Every structure is written in C-alpha cells, then in structure tokens.
Chain A
Amino acid sequence: DGGITQSPKYLFRKEGQNVTLSCEQNLNHDAMYWYRQDPGQGLRLIYYSQIVNDFQKGDIAEGYSVSREKKESFPLTVTSAQKNPTAFYLCASSKTGNQPQHFGDGTRLSIL
C-alpha cells in the first residue's frame, strides 16, 4: 500500500536536546512538506522540498532543519533553538502542479 509514514507517533524531548522526526513516502512524489499544528490554529508550513537535494524555508522555519538526500525521505530536526517545540507535526507529499498533498498521521512532540 502506498502512503506516508511518520515515526514515532509520540516523542518526548528534554530541554536543550535536538530531536529528529522521520517521514518516508512510497508514492513516488517529488514534493514533500513539513507542517506544524497548534491547538485552534491551521497548519503552518515549516519547510518544503520540491526535488531531491533542494529545500526551502516555509513560514516558521526558525529552530528547525531538514535534509532531502533521497526522494522518499524528508526528516525534520527540531533543534534546541526552537523555543516552543510542543506541537503536532505533519509531513505531506505531492506530485507537482495542481495535485493535492497527502499527509501522514503525524508525530506529537512534547517537552519533558
């Protein structure tokens, strides 16, 4: 079955630690995205990548980093510079053009 897999489902981080969220897709999509959702808010774009080895900052990239070494993988690192990392993180992918983005089931990150 084709889809997007995010792991882990729940993640806990101590203050001052970096943590990496995994996102893998087997849909052969060129574009991949990371969003953050906070209670009562819409999805806000952190980073996106339209092709391998290339990515762009979204609206709230500060305190985050990404890599796109393979077409199917787009990991997100939440660094210690992100002052309010507790949120629900969603990864998505799409073909280019007028095609809908398809989402994984998310990772909920909490600070201990």
Chain B
Amino acid sequence: DQQVKQNSPSLSVQEGRISILNCDYTNSMFDYFLWYKKYPAEGPTFLISISSIKDKNEDGRFTVFLNKSAKHLSLHIVPSQPGDSAVYFCAARSPDTDKLIFGTGTRLQVFP
C-alpha cells in the first residue's frame, strides 16, 4: 500500500512560469516532509523540507505547502528555469521508525 503518492508522473511547464508538484499521503502520524530533486544517474539532492507543525516553508524560488487536513503537500517553483528539469520526489518521515517513505516521483520538464 503506497503511503506517499505522487499521482502525476510528468509535468511540462514553460520557462518563467510556476511549476506546482503535488504529493498526497495517508498516514497522519508523518511529522516531517521533504522534497528531493534527481537527475539521471545521480543521487537525489535535498531541496526543501517542512515540519508538520508548519504549513509553509520558503527557500528562494522553492516553497513547500502542507495541508494536514487534506494530507497533501505541494512544491511550488517560481519562476521555473530549464535547469529545474529533473525528477522530483516527495518523502515523509514516520516518527516511530525514523524512516523516510518516498513517492514514485514526478518528471518536470521546463521548456523555453
């Protein structure tokens, strides 16, 4: 049973516009959420995180929003750049095991 879901396998956005990547989870006990960016044949790179006690965290062009009642988080990238083209994974931490559970990823393509 997939506890963390990224229902959009791909997203295409024009350069300069906003990219919105979505992630849903099922376990209300998750207390920490992260977004990672991954290029082919490389390891994921940490982008931004948010604790369950917050509903927004911002770092430069990247903002993560958390809606606990809907069990939903999203990553906003503004403005989108061609270098943002990659696969984005969301992850959630289970506090009892300290393990991260990853979604299946969304491939973002930013075109000129």
Interface residues of A (CB under 8 A from B): 4, 6, 31, 33, 35, 40-45, 48, 50, 58, 88, 90, 92, 96, 98, 100-106, 108
Report the minimum CB–CB distance from A96 to chain B (whole Å).
7
Would you give the 0/1 interface string for B61-94, flagging 1 where the beta carbon is closer than 8 Å to chain A? Answer: 0000000000000000000000000000101010
Cα–Cα, bound, A98→B44 (Å)? 18
Q: A42: which of B43, B89, B99 is its contact (CB, 8 Å)?
A: B89
Across the two chains, which residue of chain A brings its CB closest to B32?
A98
- Distance to closest chain A CB from B30 (angstroms): 12
Residues of B with Cβ closer than 8 Å to A?
4, 9, 31-32, 34, 36, 41-46, 49, 51, 89, 91, 93, 98-100, 102-105
Report which of A31, A40, A98, A106 forms a contact with B43, defined as CB distance below 8 A: A106
Main secondary structure of the interface of A (DSSP, over half): strand
* Contact, CB under 8 Å: A48 / B103: no
B105's closest neighbor in chain A, by CB? A42
Q: Are B105 and A50 in contact (CB under 8 A)?
A: no
Q: Are B44 and A90 in contact (CB under 8 A)?
A: yes
In the complex, what distance in Å separates the CA atom of A90 from the CA atom of B4? 19
Q: A40-B104, A41-B104, A96-B98 known; A103 and B45 CB under 8 Å?
A: yes
Name the A residues within 8 Å of B51 (CB-CB): 98
User: Nearest A residue to B52 by beta-carbon distance?
Assistant: A98
